[in-house]
């Protein structure tokens, strides 16, 4: 079962930052936080992951709280093409079993 | 080149038939997976193979039989198809290890419709 909690849906205006929250209060010390997204019915796409430090790549930023019980995925300038379901997942180092929850459906509006 | 490719993309068949979906990855990964996404859009892991050995089998009916002839291929054979098998099946691969990110690379999916 998924060990994360996400809001079912969110709206964001095009060009604004989209901040997607995730609660993972039972995360253990060797578990990473991963984010994926699924655009329409395409295969899910990896976005970013982190352990305890904040991370940034060309797609997004990941902010993890100091107690690691929650995190926020930030899309700095959302576009219409960012409309998708975003999944927050915890997985330990070397883990094979990536379990997807219901995710957050992000609607980016013009 | 497509990293993870699945065939066919669409499959329409009658109840009771047997069908296969093929998956190939050219990323050199050791681990491959099958996921099922039903009409409610929940993405559920079915199987995982690591170096051709089955490591995850999520209480999937034994009508589903994965086959991994080598590390680059993981095929899914389904016997006696039922209406409830209608779904999109996604293949994925990853490289798991302390020096790897372990991220999953997914194929585009194979939409199976059982009539």
Q: Per residue in A1-50, pLDDT tens?
A: 558 999 999 999 999 999 999 999 999 888 899 999 999 889 999 999 99
First to last CA, chain A: 35
List of chain B residues whose C-beta atoms are within 8 Å of the C-beta of residue A94: 96-98, 102
A39 lies within 8 A of chain B by CB: no
- Cβ distance B50 to A96 less than 8 Å, yes or no, reads yes
First to last CA, chain B: 34
Residues 53-112 of B with CB under 8 A from A: 55-56, 88, 90, 92, 94, 96-98, 101-109, 111
A46 lies within 8 A of chain B by CB: yes
CA-nearest residue to A100 within chain B is B43
pLDDT score of A16: 97
Residues A12 and A106: beta-carbon distance below 8 Å: yes
For the ranges A3-12, A53-62, B16-25, B49-58, which has the lowest average pLDDT? Answer: B49-58
Q: Per residue in A51-109, pLDDT tens?
A: 998 999 999 999 999 999 999 999 999 999 999 999 999 987 677 788 888 999 999 99
B45 lies within 8 A of chain A by CB: yes
Residues B18 and B80: beta-carbon distance below 8 Å: yes
Q: Which residues of A47-77 are buried (b: 16+ CB within 10 A; e: fewer)?
A: bbbbeeeebeeeebbbbbeeebebbbbbbee
The DSSP result for A17-29, as a single string, is -EEEEEE-TT--T
How far is residue A54's CA from residue A63's CA, in Å, rounded to a whole number?
5
């Amino acid at each position: 079962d998924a060990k994360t909690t996400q809001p079912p849906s969110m709206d964001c205006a095009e060009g604004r930052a989209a901040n997607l929250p995730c609660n993972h209060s039972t995360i253990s010390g060797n578990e990473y936080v991963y984010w994926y997204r699924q655009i329409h019915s395409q295969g899910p796409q990896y976005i970013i992951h982190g352990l305890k430090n904040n991370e940034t790549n060309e797609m997004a930023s990941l902010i993890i709280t100091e107690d690691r019980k929650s995190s926020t995925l930030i899309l700095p300038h959302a576009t219409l093409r960012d409309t998708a379901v975003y999944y927050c997942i915890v997985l330990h180092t070397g883990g094979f079993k990536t379990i997807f929850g219901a995710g957050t459906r992000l609607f980016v509006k013009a | 080149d497509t990293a993870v490719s699945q065939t066919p993309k669409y499959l329409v068949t009658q109840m009771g038939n047997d069908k296969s979906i093929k998956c190939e990855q050219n990323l050199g990964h050791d681990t491959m997976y099958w996921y099922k996404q039903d009409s409610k859009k929940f993405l559920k892991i079915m199987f995982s193979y690591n170096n051709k050995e089955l490591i995850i089998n999520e209480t999937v009916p034994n009508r589903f039989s994965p086959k991994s002839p080598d590390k680059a291929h993981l095929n899914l054979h389904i016997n006696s198809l039922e209406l409830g098998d209608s779904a999109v099946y996604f293949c994925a691969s990853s490289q798991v290890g302390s020096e790897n990110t372990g991220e999953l690379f997914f194929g585009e999916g194979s939409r199976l419709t059982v009539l």
